[in-house]
Chains A and B, each alone.
Chain A
Amino acid sequence: MESTQRDASQALQDIEQAGEKAKRMSLYKGADLIYMVWGVAWLIGFVVQHFSRDFTLRFGDFSMHGSGWAWNIVVPIAIILTLIIGRRRSAVQSAVDKSIGVFWWLLFVYFALWVTVLSPVIDFQQLYTAEGQRVLLAGIILVPMFAYVVMGLFGYGRYMLWLGLGITAANVFGLLVIPNWYYLWMAVMGGGGLFAAGIFARQAWRRA
């Protein structure tokens, strides 16, 4: 009877360990590389934007502040890499994967709708200025960070909640308190934060 109790206790421990490892792999494998990709994308985008502050785009008589040109390159690359990594590296295919994908697309659709509905009271001329583009970028950042907060609250890893809240706070602080250093600040806090989240996730699923 004693060895049977020992075997039963060991079996329950094995069950718990295997279950925990499976959950960690489900949450973190695949997500680790995605965070790192976006961390690097943000780092490049923000650093280039900081050092391109005086860059102006001219189209005939029309000119606009063009420091954000690098985003037109890094964001599409990061999106493509995200789709590839999500498809190839995820350990688990979940029944809600498609819903999560739709959720992300809908977020940005709603953001666009929100801007459209408010357009009569928005001065779009401001978007062509340095300050306007800084505000626009800070506003766009709130969208994925809101998604992280929601996913963190609904069981996709508590770390997502803190990542979303942390970068949101850094974003607002940078915009309102240190606007002249906003881009470099977000390169470190946003890009660095995302990359650090990737390292955290990588170590989490590899933990024995």
Chain B
Amino acid sequence: MMELNETIHQPVRLRIMAALVALDPGSTFNFVDLRGLLGVTDGNLGAHILKLEEAGYISTKKKFIARKPCTFIGVTSKGRAAFEEYVDSLKAILPQK
């Protein structure tokens, strides 16, 4: 059985990475909007973001917008490469057409 990246191969983290990789390089996603997109709670999203950040796959930046703290999340080049490798692993599992 193909070894899949365990950090990415978790439903919420997989979708976090998919959402971030879909953006243009250098772009970052607002935490609140990412939470809405994924349909998860603050705590749930925060825990998965921490895991991905510890792996070096994403980075977070805090800014103040209209005096409110906002967190923006972006994928790192390491994360992008790991995700592409993960997708290739998934495709390798599927029967070849």
Contacts and interface: CB of A to CB of B under 8 A. Distances in A.
Interface residues of A, number: 28
Given A8-B90, A92-B30, A19 B25 contact: no
A14 B93 CA distance: 16
B97 interface: no
Interface residues of B, number: 33
Contacts of B29: 22, 91-92
28 contacts: A4-B93, A8-B90, A8-B94, A11-B14, A12-B90, A14-B18, A15-B14, A15-B15, A15-B18, A18-B16, A18-B18, A20-B22, A21-B37, A22-B18, A22-B19, A22-B20, A25-B37, A29-B33, A91-B29, A91-B33, A91-B34, A92-B23, A92-B27, A92-B28, A92-B29, A93-B27, A95-B24, A95-B27
The binding surface of chain A is classed by DSSP as: helix
Contacts of A94: 23-24, 26-27
A14 B11 contact: yes
A26 interface: yes
Interface string A67-108: 000000000000000000001101111111000000000000
Interface string A125-149: 0000000000000000000000000
B28 to A, nearest CB: 5
Contact of B93 (A5, A29, A95): A5
A170 B60 CA distance: 45
Interface in B14-56: 14-16, 18-30, 33-34, 37-38
Interface of B: 1-2, 9, 11, 14-16, 18-30, 33-34, 37-38, 65-66, 72, 87, 90-91, 93-95
Contacts of A87: 65-66
B72 to A, nearest CB: 6
A18 B15 contact: yes
A180 interface: no
